[in-house]
Amino acid sequence: MRASLIFFRLLKAERQAFGPVQIQVFDDRKNALHGPDARSNDWSAVTFGQPVDADGFRLLRFFQRREIVAGKPDNYRWAFQVDASLTDVRQRVEQRYGVELDRPWVMGAWGVAPDVAWEERGGLSTLLQITGYDGGTTTISCELEARDIGDFRMPGAVEVFGKPEIGLPPLKDTDGLMKALLSCRPEFFAKLMEERASFGESEVFERRAVPTSSQSKSTRPPRAASIIIFPAPIEIWGIAITGYTQRTDSVDGKRQLIWGFQTRDGRNQLAKVVQLRTGSQPVEGIRWELDLTTEDTGYAPSPSFSIADGLLACAAPADETEPDPSTLFLTVKQ
Q: Is the pLDDT of residue 105 over 80?
A: no
Q: Mean pLDDT over residues 87-111, rounded?
A: 88
* Side-chain-facing half-sphere of 187: CA atoms under 13 Å: 10
Q: What angle do CA 258, 271, 316 make, to 5 degrees?
A: 20
pLDDT for the residue numbered 256: 87
H or E segment and range at residue 88: helix 86-97
pLDDT tens profile 126-182: 899 999 999 999 999 999 999 889 889 999 999 999 999 999 999 999 999 999 999
pLDDT tens profile 247-293: 988 777 788 899 999 999 999 999 899 988 888 876 765 566 766 66
pLDDT tens profile 131-146: 999 999 999 999 999 9
Q: Are 199 and 234 in contact (CB under 8 A)?
A: yes
Nearest partner of 228 among 252, 255, 201, judged by Cα: 201
**What backbone torsions phi and psi does residue 32 show, to the nearest 5 degrees?**
-115, 115
Q: How far apart are CA 124 and CA 114, in angstroms?
A: 11
Q: Are 121 and 129 in contact (CB under 8 A)?
A: no
Give rounded-to-5 percent helix, strand, coil for the chain: 25, 35, 35
Instruction: Using pLDDT thresholds of 50, 70 and 90, give the confidence band for residue 217.
Output: very low
Query: What's the N-to-C CA distance of the chain in angstroms?
Result: 53
**What backbone torsions phi and psi does residue 262 show, to the nearest 5 degrees?**
-95, 145
Give the global pTM: 0.86
Q: How far apart are CA 108 and CA 85, in angstroms?
A: 16
> What number of H helices and E strands is found in the chain?
9, 14
